[in-house]
Amino acid sequence: MARISWKFGLLMMMVVLVGSCSGQLSNENFYSKKCPNVFKAIRSVVRSAVAKEPRMAASLLRLHFHDCFVNGCDGSVLLDDTSSFKGEKTAGPNNNSLRGFDVVDAIKAKVESVCPGVVSCADILAITARDSVVLLGGPNWNVKLGRRDSKTASLAAANSGVLPPPTATLSQLISKFQAVGLSTKDMAALSGAHTIGKTRCTVYRSRIYNDTNIDRTFANARKKNCPIITGTPKDNNVAPLDFKTPNHFDNSYYSNLLNKKGLLHSDQELFNGGSTDSLVRTYTNNQKAFFADFATAMIKMGNIKPLTGSQGIIRRNCRRAN
């Protein structure tokens, strides 16, 4: 009996230790005492940046996504290279692709001016993503807070294939999202973030020239700005991911897919005779359902392996580990 009791006690201790390592985020009141004006400070900078360039909303949202998929939501994507590590900015999925770092710098400076050393860069990314969506007409949600910042970043991790490429098949998309604890429904809803933003010719060229499940008029229109010849300055020409309402967060992305007008191969995979066809139809017909599922999925994504409690640090400059 004593042996059983001892084993039970050991098991309970292990459960407690494992639980404490997983990290637990708090509600939006996390900074209510130490930094009550954090939301106002962040929103003012985001609003100014998006007013100047609506595309920036999508860029800031994407930073949060690329941060969370690589070793969790720890702000590591923001770190510059140092003599001791090579960061994530020059990784294949990020190099000449991620943008908005200067806006994050401005947000961090604003927050530091009202409450220095309190708010993490990882939390700033989460709040900024939400505010960016709301500013373009998308859903609102309560951002869970309490993330702390990593001291390092990993080029190898960002290059390891955890980030789904624009050439991904449906099964690959499902697998990569499941690997970080997100369901197929989460994946389909989060893909709706492509209702805003733009992407370069090099990213969608193969889709418009090689795919057969694409509206020909749509493909021909895109070809005018994206020639088949590679290695020219036109590689960097951009096109809106949602040609209907590129600066408004709505459900038109899904109606585009119904009409075979997804700009990326991975976009059209959501409606190509597979398991997500029904979700695309639902979101096309019911924007409220899309908004609800998107908000739920964003909260889940923001909870991927956060550093909390005494883990990590609070960076004073998001580009370096203090």
By annotation, the residues acting in catalysis are 66
Write phi, then psi, for 26 (nearest 5 degrees): -110, 175
H or E segment to which residue 239 belongs: strand 238-240
Known binding-site positions for heme b: 194
Number of residues that make up the chain: 322
Feature table: binding site for Ca(2+): 67, 70, 72, 74, 76, 88, 195, 242, 245, 250
Task: Report the distance separating Cα 146 and Cα 119, nearest Å.
Answer: 8
**CA torsion sign, 137 to 250 to 29 to 309?**
negative
Give the residue carrying structure tokens 């955890």. Answer: 162
β-partners of residue 149 are: 313
What stretch of H or E contains 200? strand 198-200
Helices (H), 23-120: 38-52, 55-69, 101-114
Burial label for 71, CB within 10 Å (0-12, 13-18, 19+), is: buried
- Cα distance between residue 104 and residue 123, in whole Å: 11
| Contact status, residue 196 vs residue 57, Cβ threshold 8 Å | yes
Residue 238's SS3 state is strand
